[in-house]
Amino acid sequence: MSYVDGFLLVIRKKNLKAYKALAAVACKVWREHGALDYKECTGEDLKASPGCGNSYTDLLKCRKDETVIFAFIVYKSRAARDKINARVMNDPRMAAMAGKKMPFDLKRMWVGGFASLVECK
């Protein structure tokens, strides 16, 4: 069963172009170091259907000029994830981003690692 790092973050819509540029670099780096899949998705239909839970925009307290990024990286296993992430953090392309102003507020980013419970192939 695979292992997944998941991310949710709030971003101002006007910053999506800058975020996409950063994400494109990150995607290449993670894939080159062994990640099986890498997705960065921007909110499009974020309203909850009646009786079907809550919306991300409510959860994350988004303003009208903000949207949500839902992202995930898939690895063969947690051990593979730990090795890949160590290599990613030492990659010069990622080091070049360190310390630079991000196009989103890091305080409004949520992260976590998840073991697969069900996989359909």
Chain segment 57-115, per-residue pLDDT in tens: 999 999 999 999 999 999 999 999 999 999 999 999 998 888 788 999 999 999 999 99
For residue 92, which amino acid is it? Answer: P
**Distance between CA atoms of residues 79 and 86, nearest Å:** 11
What architecture is the 3-103 domain classified under in CATH?
2-Layer Sandwich (3.30)
pTM passes above 0.75: yes
